[in-house]
Amino acid sequence: MGIDTAVRRAVFVDRDGVINRPIVRGGRPFAPANVEELEILPGVEEALTRLRAAGFLLVVVTNQPEVSRGTLSHAALDAMHAALRSALPLDDIRVCPHDDRDACDCRKPKPGMVLAAARELGISLARSYVVGDRWRDIAAGRTAGCVTIFVDCGYDEPRPDGAAVTVRSLAEAAEWILSQ
């Protein structure tokens, strides 16, 4: 990748399960279908505010394959993100609307969303963090060269390999980041 001359630090945060409550069915998490189902988790606003005050850019990176599958409209997705932007101190929201079969570069576990945001916003990946609740988030962060933090929500699915730390919430993740 060459020499990292960027100086800005960021916390890349997954959306469903980290910022907002997922819809859990059969032990697996699913995205809310509309703004009415979107519920920001306790402690998220405070955690993001503390990270922002410490100088971090805050970038949401989220897979939303329901768009490609035709079960989530762009309008519903835009409404949810407008609600998040109005409630939380976010600098950017990056979305992959594709499904695995689309073989895009942006769908986590590929690091495309993180890499594009870093290029466009002048972010040092080595000085940044990825916080996620699924193996795809951790794999994307590790591939991008960020420190990774796994939010263990107790889903009935494989746990990720190689996270720097495992926590139970974004608030715990922020506490750990700020202690580094």
- DSSP assignment of 85-142: HHHS--SEEEEE---GGG--SSSTTS-HHHHHHHHHHTB-GGG-EEEESSHHHHHHHH
> C-alpha 83: how far from its chain's center?
16
pLDDT value of residue 1: 46
Q: Which of 14, 78, 92, 100 is catalytic?
A: 14
pLDDT digits (tens, 9 = 90+) for 21-57: 999 999 999 999 999 999 999 999 999 999 999 999 9
pLDDT digits (tens, 9 = 90+) for 55-78: 999 999 999 999 999 999 999 999
Instruction: Give yes or no for residue 120 having a pLDDT over 50.
Output: yes
Query: Which residues contact residue 42 at a Cβ distance below 8 angstroms, ignoring those fewer than 6 apart?
Result: 169, 171
Whole-prediction pTM value? 0.95
Residue 161 appears among annotated catalytic residues = no
Distance CA 57, CA 134 (A): 22
Looking up tokens 């974004």 gives 170
Tell me the domain boundaries of the chain. 9-179
Distance CA 102, CA 153 (A): 28
Q: Which of 16, 99, 100, 102 is catalytic?
A: 16
**CA angle in degrees (0–180, nearest 5) for 27-28-34:** 125
Distance CA 83, CA 106 (A): 23
Parallel, antiparallel, or unpaired for β 23-25 and 28-30?
Answer: antiparallel
pLDDT digits (tens, 9 = 90+) for 131-162: 999 999 999 999 999 999 999 999 999 999 99
Tell me the β-bridge partners of 10.
Answer: 57
Residue 16 appears among annotated catalytic residues = yes
- What is the CATH number that goes with domain 9-179? 3.40.50.1000
